[in-house]
Structure 1
Amino acid sequence: MEKEINFRIATEQDLDKIVEMLADDVLGRKRERYEQPLPDSYIEAFRAISSDPNNELVVACHGDEIIGVQQITFTPYITYQGGWRATIEGVRTSSASRGKGIGTELINWGINRAKERGCHLVQLTTDKERPDALRFYEKLGFKATHEGLKLKLK
C-alpha cells in the first residue's frame, strides 16, 4: 500500500462498511445480515459500544477508504491484583486488502492501545473453523494458554 494506514474510532457513518466486512467471509455470511437498510440491531449495538468508555470500535483507513475493523473492550479484573485486560474481537480486513499486512498493523495498534490504557494482558479468541486466523495470531505472539467455552443463549 502506498499511503499510510491510519486508525480512528469508528463513527456511525462507518457502520455500513464495517458490517459489510464482517459478513464478507464463509463464517460471517452465516451470522451477519448485510442488507440495506442495516438491521436496527447493528445501530443499537454501535451506539452502546460508542457510549461505553471501556469499548472502542476502531477502523483502519487507507486514505478515505475503510479497510479494517476491530473492537477492543477494556475490562477490570479482581485477579492479577485488580489488573485490566483488553479483549480484541471482530477483527476483519476488507477482502481487497487481505494479505497486505493490514491485519498485523491493526492488531499491533490494538496492543499499543491496550498498553496506553494500562492493561497487563491482551486476549482474543478465534473460531476453530478459522485455522489461518489461529496461525496468524500465533505468529504475532499470542499463545493458546486456556481452553475457552461458550454457551449459546439464542
Structure 2
Amino acid sequence: MLADDPLGAQRERLADPLPPSYLQAFEAIERDPNNELVVAEDDAGGVVGVLQLTCTPYITHQGGWRATIEGVRVHKSCRSSGVGRQLFEWAIGRARERGCHLVQLTTDKQRPDALRFYEQLGFVASHEGMKLKLAL
C-alpha cells in the first residue's frame, strides 16, 4: 500500500524480499512505547489499512503530549468504505487514552482527496509545515 500511488511509487521500494530498512523501522517502532503501528484487517485477515501513531511530550502547552498520525494508507479496493474513518477514530481515541491534548498530521499538497478527508474528520489546516531533506 505504501507504494501504490504516484507519490509512494517515487519514494518506496517494493521488492521481494523487502529491503532491510523496512524491518529495522518496524522493529524500532515495536520497541518504542510511544509509537504504534496500527493495521485494519478485512474479514479474511488481510491488511486493508495502516497508520502510525506517535505520542510525543512537548515543553509547550504546559508540558503536554501530542499525537502524530503518519503513514496512513488504505488499500485502493477499500477506499470510501469507512476503513480510514475507523482507523482515525481508533487513533484519536488512543490519543485521548494516552492523555494527548492534540492530534496532528501532515498531508502532501498533491493529495487533495486526503486533505478533504482529514477536514471531514475535523482537522484544521492551522499551521504551515516545512521539511528539510537530509542526505544519507
What's the TM-score once normalised by structure 2's chain length? 0.96
Alpha-carbon distance in structure 1 between the residues aligned to 2:108 and 2:78? 21
1:41 match: 21
Alpha-carbon distance in structure 2 between the residues aligned to 1:99 and 1:135? 12
In the alignment of these two chains, the number of paired residues is 134
Higher RCO, 1 or 2 (CA under 8 Å, sep at least 6)? 1
1:6 match: none
Unmatched segments (≥5 aa) in structure 1: 1-20
Unmatched segments (≥5 aa) in structure 2: none
2:117 match: 136
What is the alpha-carbon root mean square deviation over aligned residues? 0.7
Query: For residues 2-31 of structure 1, what are the alpha-carbon distances to aligned partners after superposition, in whole Å with 9 as ceiling and x for unaligned?
Result: xxxxxxxxxxxxxxxxxxx11111111111
Determine which of 6, 9, 15 is the counterpart of 1:29: 9
Instruction: Please state which structure has a larger fraction of its residues in helix.
Output: 1
What SS class does the counterpart of residue 30 from structure 1 fall into? Answer: helix
1:13 match: none
* Cα displacement (A) at 1:68: 0.3
Alpha-carbon distance in structure 1 between the residues aligned to 2:79 and 2:4? 12
Query: For residues 68-127 of structure 1, what are the alpha-carbon distances to aligned partners after superposition, in whole Å with 9 as ceiling and x for unaligned?
Result: 000000000011111000000000011111111111111111100100101000000000
Runs of 4+ in 1 over 3 A off after TM superposition: none
What's the TM-score once normalised by structure 1's chain length? 0.85
Percent identity over paired residues = 67
